[in-house]
Structure 1
Amino acid sequence: MELTYHLKNIDAVALDVFKHLKSKIILFNGEMGAGKTTFINALLKTMDSGDIATSPTFSIVNEYTLPNDKIFHFDFYRIETIEEAYNFGVEDYLYSEHWLFIEWPDRIEQLLPENAQTITITKIDNNTRSLKLTINEKLLTENNAMTDSKF
């Protein structure tokens, strides 16, 4: 899925993207200032969270509540080694059943589960962004197998 959107339409775009998610682990790529946290905030609204997303650059992880779940929002920009990620228990989060929104995932790439999806946001100008949602081929195959089953 690829699209270009104006920031005034971000909530509608977030709803559309949410409908296409096949995983609860979402990796966010984009330059600093591209709008990753802004888009995450729009996703929170779509998912009926009463919370407002803020960048967890210094805290590394923020927790948001949903009616029947949680979202853990990570920003690994300041992480320089995998050991730093292990030190705050990243594996416990990665293999939980909760939603994970991960900014700067390249910093912990070797730890990421295969079932993650990627959202890449590119700033075109002050009010316009392009977005690409990538679905892991293995995840797509697994979901199709589940859909095709006769249970």
Structure 2
Amino acid sequence: MRVIEFTYHLKDIDAIAASVLEHLESKTVLFNGAMGAGKTTFINALLKAMQSSDVATSPTFSIVNEYTIPSDKVYHFDFYRVKSLDEAYNFGIEDYFNSNHWLFLEWPERIEALLPEDAQSITITDLDENRRSLKLTIKTKHLTEQIAMTEIKF
């Protein structure tokens, strides 16, 4: 497992999103963090880095929002209100996982048993009013890469 950590000011979020995008090795990204940590805000910056003209909004009530990027789509999920795996099956989560489109999942622990093995994880921590810590966890298959860690500060 490889972990890349970024500490950034909110004014630098677009640069951080572009850097994170370069490190992603999976199109399924799990977003972890407390309520209000900035998960949707970071997803919005990722969309911008992916050249989307869409603006990310929290799909807390709709459960999934769809955004367009050049030659692809992004499905943005918020599982905060999902109470069971059956609810996820009822709205067709398997179809999304098999779609080969980008999947950004907030509150993924609510459907942990369904998550693809190749999913990468982003954990955002609110350090203070204008600073965040972001940890990108990349699962690797090679033992030689398991302990690598990089820290980037802005």
What's the TM-score once normalised by structure 1's chain length? 0.91
The secondary structure found in structure 2 opposite 1:125 is: coil
The match for 1:73 is 76
The secondary structure found in structure 2 opposite 1:137 is: coil
The match for 2:115 is 112
What is the Cα deviation at residue 137 of structure 1? 2.5
The match for 2:129 is 126
Is residue 12 of structure 2 the alignment partner of residue 9 of structure 1?
Answer: yes
User: What amino acid does structure 2 have at the position aligned with 1:65?
Assistant: T
Q: Compare relative contact order (CA 8 Å, sep 6+) and give the higher one, 1 or 2.
A: 2
Q: How does 1:31-42 map to 2 (within 5 A)?
A: 31-42=34-45
Query: Which 5+ residue runs of structure 2 have no aligned equivalent?
Result: 146-154
Divergent runs of 4+, >2 A: none
User: What amino acid does structure 1 have at the position aligned with 2:9?
Assistant: H
Structure with the higher fraction of residues in helix conformation: 1
Question: What count of residue pairs does the alignment treat as equivalent?
Answer: 140
Paired with 2:51 and 2:13, the residues of 1 have a C-alpha distance of 15
User: What amino acid does structure 1 have at the position aligned with 2:43?
Assistant: I
- The percent of aligned pairs where both chains have the same amino acid is 70
Alpha carbon RMSD of aligned pairs, Å?
Answer: 1.0
User: What amino acid does structure 1 have at the position aligned with 2:38?
Assistant: G
What is the Cα deviation at residue 24 of structure 1? 0.3
Query: Which 5+ residue runs of structure 1 have no aligned equivalent?
Result: 145-151
Structure with the higher fraction of residues in strand conformation: 2
User: What amino acid does structure 1 have at the position aligned with 2:24?
Assistant: L
Is residue 53 of structure 2 the alignment partner of residue 44 of structure 1?
Answer: no
What's the TM-score once normalised by structure 2's chain length? 0.89
The secondary structure found in structure 2 opposite 1:96 is: coil
Deviations 1:18-72 (A, max 9, x none): 0000000000000000000000000000000010000000000000001100000
Paired with 1:98 and 1:15, the residues of 2 have a C-alpha distance of 19
Paired with 2:49 and 2:7, the residues of 1 have a C-alpha distance of 19
